[in-house]
């Protein structure tokens, strides 16, 4: 009875650990330790397969979480291309082929909604590990780290880069317009977009536009 009670607590601990900090189990050594602990726990409840089912589901969820984050990392890396020659590309394109944002989307509400989708996608991929990374690096005076072999996560960096990209997009779209009336219209359009972002509750995009 004591073993079963103890096993239930260990299962709860492992379940919360794997859900909150899956990156702790991304290397083979940690995964092997987890499997060894799981094997010992299942021996405490061999009569019915309840514990085994819970551990199996926990392991499956952990592998899915690690796989999803790995795929997100790969996709994001593809977009991290050098931007040094973008100005040259823009100059070589004919004026008719250079579309401004108003020709793509002239409704401030729709653009604000699309920006919010991007914000939510970026935020949903920020995990406690990312925050722990910052805490561990800030505490450099004592050289304190939770794990010395932890792999750096780039989700906060990607979110910060998106803020800067949006700011640069707004500035570029305004400055590339030659005529004053069109530039005024572009400024007013982005003011309306920022207002719609405020109404939605997307304050990050609003501040990037401002």
The string of pLDDT tens digits covering residues 46-83 is 666 777 888 888 888 888 888 877 777 776 666 665 55
Residues 6 or more apart whose Cβ sits within 8 Å of residue 86: none
Is the confidence at residue 98, as pLDDT, over 70? Answer: no
The answer to whether the pTM exceeds 0.75 is no
- Tokens read off for 85: 């020659």
What mean pLDDT comes out for the span 169-184?
A: 91
Quick one: residue 74, left, alpha or beta (phi over 0 = left, psi -120 to 50 = alpha)?
alpha
Q: What is the pLDDT of residue 78?
A: 65
Q: If residue 46 lies in a helix (H) or strand (E), which one and from where to where?
A: none
Average pLDDT over residues 105-134: 86
Span 9-32, average pLDDT: 86
| CA-closest candidate to residue 155, choices 185, 135, 128 | 128
User: pLDDT at residue 86 above 60?
Assistant: no
- Check residues 69 and 40 and name the one with the higher pLDDT: 40
- Res. 112: pLDDT tops 50: yes
Q: Which alpha helices (H) appear in the chain, and where do they start and end?
A: 2-20, 28-43, 50-79, 86-92, 101-104, 108-124, 128-138, 155-175, 180-200, 203-209
108 close to 195: Cβ distance less than 8 angstroms: yes
pLDDT given for residue 91 in this prediction = 61
In order of their start, the domains of the chain are 1-70 (no CATH), 101-135+151-209 (1.10.840.10)
Asked whether 26 and 66 are in contact (CB, 8 A), the reply is yes
Once rounded to an integer, what is the mean pLDDT over residues 86-104?
66
Q: Check pLDDT > 90 for residue 169.
A: yes
Contacts of residue 178, Cβ cutoff 8 Å, sequence gap at least 6: none
Please, are residues 185 and 143 in contact by the beta-carbon 8 Å criterion? no
């Amino acid at each position: 009875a004591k073993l079963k009670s103890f096993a239930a607590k260990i299962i709860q601990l492992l379940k919360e650990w794997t859900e909150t900090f899956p990156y702790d189990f991304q290397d083979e050594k940690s995964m092997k330790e987890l499997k060894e602990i799981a094997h010992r726990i299942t021996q405490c409840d061999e009569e019915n397969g309840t514990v085994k089912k819970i551990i199996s589901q926990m392991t499956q969820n952990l592998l899915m979480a690690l796989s999803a984050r790995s795929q997100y990392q790969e996709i994001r890396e593809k977009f991290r291309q050098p931007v040094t020659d973008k100005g040259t590309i823009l100059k070589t394109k004919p004026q008719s082929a250079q579309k401004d944002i108003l020709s793509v989307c002239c409704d401030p509400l729709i653009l604000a909604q699309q920006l919010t989708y991007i914000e939510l996608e970026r935020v949903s991929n920020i995990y406690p590990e990312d925050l722990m990374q910052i805490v561990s690096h800030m505490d450099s005076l004592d050289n304190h780290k939770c794990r010395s072999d932890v792999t750096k996560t780039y989700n906060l960096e990607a979110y910060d880069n998106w803020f800067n990209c949006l700011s640069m997009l707004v500035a570029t779209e305004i400055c590339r317009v030659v005529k004053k009336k069109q530039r005024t219209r572009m400024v007013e359009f982005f003011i309306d977009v920022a207002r719609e972002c405020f109404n939605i509750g997307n304050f990050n995009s609003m501040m990037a536009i401002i």
